[in-house]
């Protein structure tokens, strides 16, 4: 723990990171007593779109994910786990190509030193076949896991092509939340924003409000997601939502242009807007410090 705190403080002092603080009460819930005070960190990667081919957008489409894996492997301290928040692969109508891309993606990320890797689908992975291929390769599209006093909830808002979580999953979520204490530390991982960020850009979840309503009674909830290909922070009441960068292309700021379009590659600033993040969890304070990493050539 001491090492982690020193490391975090170093990052702040060096001005390298963006720190996001989520405050909560000091009364802890859940987890075994010896684990309640632990701190840990994990890495979030998102929107890798393996299989995308567009030299004007990313001439290193075959190399960016591999560079990110190498960058994570080169971190001084290895994270407890790595999470990919969807759009692992670029969509295709071809069932075989879809599976080929997932197999290639899985092979590449198997090179991570960290062997605990969590996945969830994006619409590019799952919306055309309702998650059939995704589940063959990566298992359940929604699930929970607990780590050192934090309850992680992975939600699937893409296997239904209408961008809905759906009644069945919503009931599953409500049942899960009933089983944990009200002030448990909860991190929700999902692909699309659960709130209406820019609906006309398809940056929303059709029934996201129902998910947020279910989470609202819990005071210590943070949501990490992808989909919008940029860092973004938003509050719905006391619930913080943090979007991550992509590892394939960047997109404009929400609503900043009339029509959403991929930002072309800039050879003067290669990989601009692409990156991944570390999330350091201070479990006692229900606080998450986020440090953004930018990809470089």
Partner 1 sequence: MKRLALLFVAASLGYLHQETIARSEPRAADNERVIRISASTFEFTPSHVTVKKGVPVILELTSKDRHHGFKLAQFQVQVDIKPGAVEHVRLVPNKTGTFTFFCDVFCGDGHEDMSGTIEVIE
Q: Which of 15, 55, 139, 258 binds partner 1 (CB under 8 A)?
A: 258
**CA 237 remoteness from chain centre:** 21
Residue 158 contacts partner 1 per CB under 8 A? yes
User: How far is the C-alpha of 232 from the C-alpha of 246, rounded, in Å?
Assistant: 12
Residue 163 contacts partner 1 per CB under 8 A? yes
Part of the chain binding partner 1 (CB under 8 A), chosen from 23-31, 35-43, 167-175, 256-264: 256-264
Residue 162 contacts partner 1 per CB under 8 A? yes
Part of the chain binding partner 1 (CB under 8 A), chosen from 77-85, 121-129, 132-140, 213-221: 121-129
Instruction: Please identify, using beta-carbon distances, which residue of 93 and 107 lies nearer to partner 1.
Output: 93
Residues within window 79-108 making contact with partner 1, judged by CB under 8 A:
90-93
Count, residues near partner 1 per rule CB under 8 A? 18
**Rg, C-alpha atoms of the chain:** 18
| 3-state SS string for the chain | CHHHHHHHHHHHHCCCCCCCCCCCCCCCCCCCHHHCCCEEEEEEECCCCECCCCCCCCCCCCCHHHHHHHHHHCCCCCCCEEEEECCCECCCCCHHHHHHHHHHHHHHHCCCCCCCEEEECCHHHHCCCCCHHHHHHHCCCCEEEEECCEEEEECCCCCCCCCCCCHHHHHHHHHHHHCCCCCCEEEEECCCCCCCCEHHHCECCCCHHHHHHHHCCCCCEEEEECCCCCCEEEEECCEEEEECCECCCCCCCCCCCCCCCCCCCCCCCCCCCEEEEEEEEECCCCEEEEEEEECCC
Residue 155 contacts partner 1 per CB under 8 A? no
Residue 156 contacts partner 1 per CB under 8 A? no
Q: Which of 11, 18, 128, 214 binds partner 1 (CB under 8 A)?
A: 128
Would you state the structure tokens that stand for residue 10, as one six-digit string?
């170093």
Residue 161 contacts partner 1 per CB under 8 A? yes
Residue 55 contacts partner 1 per CB under 8 A? no
Part of the chain binding partner 1 (CB under 8 A), chosen from 65-73, 144-152, 158-166, 225-233: 158-166
Residue 253 contacts partner 1 per CB under 8 A? no
User: How far is the C-alpha of 249 from the C-alpha of 273, rounded, in Å?
Assistant: 7
Residue 126 beta carbon to partner 1: minimum distance, rounded to whole angstroms: 9
Instruction: Please identify, using beta-carbon distances, which residue of 62 and 92 lies nearer to partner 1.
Output: 92
Instruction: Please identify, using beta-carbon distances, which residue of 234 and 260 lies nearer to partner 1.
Output: 260
Part of the chain binding partner 1 (CB under 8 A), chosen from 63-71, 157-165, 174-182, 218-226: 157-165
Instruction: Please identify, using beta-carbon distances, which residue of 52 and 84 lies nearer to partner 1.
Output: 52
User: How far is the C-alpha of 265 from the C-alpha of 56, rounded, in Å?
Assistant: 6
Residue 260 contacts partner 1 per CB under 8 A? yes
User: How far is the C-alpha of 239 from the C-alpha of 288, rounded, in Å?
Assistant: 13
Residues within window 11-50 making contact with partner 1, judged by CB under 8 A:
none
Residue 211 beta carbon to partner 1: minimum distance, rounded to whole angstroms: 17
Q: Which of 46, 61, 127, 220 binds partner 1 (CB under 8 A)?
A: 127
Q: Which residues bind partner 1 (CB under 8 A)?
A: 90-93, 123, 127-128, 158, 161-163, 199-200, 202, 206, 258-260
């Amino acid at each position: 723990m001491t090492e982690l705190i020193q490391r975090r403080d170093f990052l702040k002092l060096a001005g390298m990171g963006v720190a996001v603080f989520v405050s909560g009460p000091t009364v802890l819930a859940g987890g075994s007593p010896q684990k309640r005070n632990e701190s840990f960190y994990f890495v979030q990667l998102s929107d890798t779109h393996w299989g995308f081919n567009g030299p004007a957008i990313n001439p290193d489409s075959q190399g960016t994910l591999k560079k990110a894996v190498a960058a994570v492997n080169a971190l001084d301290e290895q994270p407890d786990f790595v999470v990919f928040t969807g759009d692992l692969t670029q969509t295709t109508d071809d069932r075989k190509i879809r599976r080929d891309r997932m197999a290639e993606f899985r092979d590449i990320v198997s090179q991570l030193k960290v062997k605990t890797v969590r996945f969830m689908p994006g619409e590019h992975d799952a919306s055309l076949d309702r998650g059939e291929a995704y589940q063959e390769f990566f298992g359940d599209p929604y699930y929970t896991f607990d780590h050192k006093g934090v309850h992680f909830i992975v939600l699937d808002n893409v296997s239904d092509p209408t961008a809905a979580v759906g009644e069945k999953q919503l009931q599953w979520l409500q049942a899960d939340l009933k089983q944990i204490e009200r002030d448990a530390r909860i991190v929700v991982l999902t692909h699309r924003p659960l709130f209406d960020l820019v609906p006309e850009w398809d940056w929303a979840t059709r029934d996201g409000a129902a998910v947020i309503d279910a989470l609202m009674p819990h005071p210590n909830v943070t949501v990490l997601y992808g989909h919008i290909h940029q860092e973004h922070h938003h509050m719905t009441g006391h619930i913080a939502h943090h979007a991550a960068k992509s590892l394939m292309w960047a997109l404009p700021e929400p609503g900043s242009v009339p029509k959403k379009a991929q930002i072309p590659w800039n050879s003067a600033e290669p990989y601009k807007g692409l990156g991944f993040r570390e999330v350091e969890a201070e479990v006692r304070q229900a606080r998450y410090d986020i440090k953004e990493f930018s990809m470089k050539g």
